[in-house]
């Protein structure tokens, strides 16, 4: 497009997958220069409150002074404004609908916070549900993205890859270590496993996604902190 753009990303720095990471990876994939503005979520800046008065959350993309909030909406905006390759969404309306359907499934079903905080029977129940949801996703990949490889968007990661990549599923090894159970089983989830491997080896993802050990420690610290804050919960 060749326009002179000022792009600012208000985000939370973290080594772990997060909505901010989706946007960072999309900007890097498209080669869009941007300024990263680190928010302290315990003490939100006036700018963040002004740019996202509804949810008061990050990420917020500010393009030439105009704010866009909600990571999935930001991804669509990036693809629509910077129309050049790599495209994040497919051209075909049905394929786009499938991408949005599975992105919604991932946002609703592959959340790991409750699983990570759980213990005992609750943990066993949530672990089982998590594995079942991964199996549903595996079938979905087989049915709706069969020609696409190594990413769900084809040769380069796209919208759905970024949504899945910034979900807990992409850091499954860290979660498995904390929960003490296998969640992604290569024999049962071969397509998902191949996808995780391709994502982990992608240079832009590698530079943006955290080290496994760092992630485990951060989650354990978070759990400990929560246990102190909520002494009556079984942590
Ligand atoms: N649906 C939002 C979720 C954004 C979100 O949860 N952001 C968190 C950081 S990862 C946040 O800003 N939390 C601050 C708060 O809840 O006050 C998106 O995808 O952009």
Residues in the chain: 235
Domain boundary pick from 81, 109, 140: 81
99 and 31 fall within a common domain? no
209 and 114 fall within a common domain? yes
pLDDT band at 3 (very low <50, low <70, confident <90, very high): low
Q: Identify whether 123 is part of a domain.
A: yes
Domain boundary pick from 52, 81, 110: 81
Give yes or no for residue 210 having a pLDDT over 70: no
Q: What is the pLDDT of residue 178?
A: 87
Q: What is the pLDDT of residue 233?
A: 47
58 and 136 fall within a common domain? no
172 and 214 fall within a common domain? yes
Q: What is the pLDDT of residue 28?
A: 97
49 and 107 fall within a common domain? no
Q: Identify whether 137 is part of a domain.
A: yes
**19 CB within 6 A, ligand 1:** yes
152 and 214 fall within a common domain? yes
72 and 135 fall within a common domain? no
Q: Identify whether 204 is part of a domain.
A: yes
Task: Render 91-156 in DSSP notation, one character per residue.
Answer: SSHHHHHHHHHHHHHHHHH---HHHHH--HHHHHHHHHHHHHHHHHHHHHHHHHSTT--SBTTBSS
Q: What is the CATH number of the domain that holds 125?
A: 1.20.1050.10
Q: Identify whether 136 is part of a domain.
A: yes
Whether 91 contacts 84, CB under 8 Å: no
Q: What is the pLDDT of residue 232?
A: 53
Mean pLDDT to the nearest integer, 46-71: 98
With the most atoms of ligand 1 within 8 angstroms of its CB, the residue from 17, 48, 53, 55 to mutate is 55
With the most atoms of ligand 1 within 8 angstroms of its CB, the residue from 57, 106, 210 to mutate is 57
- Mean of pLDDT over the chain: 90
Give yes or no for residue 187 having a pLDDT over 50: yes
Query: For 98-123, what is each residue's pLDDT tens digit?
Result: 999 999 999 999 888 889 888 999 99
Give yes or no for residue 235 having a pLDDT over 50: no
Q: Is 103 exposed, middle or buried (0-12, 13-18, 19+ CB in 10 A)?
A: buried
Q: Please count the helices (runs of H) and the strands (runs of E) in the chain.
A: 11, 4
Give yes or no for residue 234 having a pLDDT over 60: no
Q: Identify whether 183 is part of a domain.
A: yes
Whether 123 contacts 115, CB under 8 Å: yes
Q: 147 or 74: which carries more pLDDT confidence?
A: 74
21 and 70 fall within a common domain? yes
106 and 213 fall within a common domain? yes
Q: How many domains does the chain fold into? A: 2
Q: What is the CATH number of the domain that holds 67?
A: 3.40.30.10
14 and 35 fall within a common domain? yes
Containing domain of residue 61, as a range? 7-81
33 and 147 fall within a common domain? no
Whether 14 contacts 26, CB under 8 Å: no
Q: How far apart are CA 40 and CA 26, in angstroms?
A: 23
Domain boundary pick from 81, 103, 123: 81
62 and 153 fall within a common domain? no
Distance 56 CA to ligand 1 centre (A): 8
């Amino acid at each position: 497009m060749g326009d002179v753009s000022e792009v600012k990303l208000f985000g939370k720095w973290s080594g772990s997958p997060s909505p901010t990471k989706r946007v960072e990876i999309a900007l890097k994939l498209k080669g869009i220069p941007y300024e990263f503005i680190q928010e302290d979520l315990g003490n939100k800046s006036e700018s963040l409150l002004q740019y996202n008065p509804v949810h008061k959350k990050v990420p917020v993309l500010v393009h030439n002074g105009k704010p866009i909030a909600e990571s999935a909406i930001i991804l669509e905006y990036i693809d629509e404004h910077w129309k050049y390759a790599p495209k994040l969404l497919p051209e075909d309306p049905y394929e786009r609908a499938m991408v949005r359907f599975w992105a919604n499934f991932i946002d609703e079903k592959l959340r790991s916070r409750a699983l990570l905080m759980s213990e005992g029977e609750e943990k066993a129940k949530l672990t089982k549900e998590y594995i079942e949801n991964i199996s549903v996703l595996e079938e979905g990949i087989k049915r709706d993205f069969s020609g696409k490889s190594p990413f769900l968007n084809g040769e380069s990661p796209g919208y759905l890859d970024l949504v899945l990549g910034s979900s807990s599923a992409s850091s499954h090894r860290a979660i498995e270590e904390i929960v003490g159970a296998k969640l992604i089983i290569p024999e049962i989830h071969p397509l998902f496993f191949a996808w995780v491997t391709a994502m982990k080896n992608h240079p832009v993802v590698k530079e943006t996604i955290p080290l496994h050990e760092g992630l485990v420690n951060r989650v354990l610290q978070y759990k400990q902190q929560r246990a102190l804050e909520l002494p009556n919960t079984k942590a």
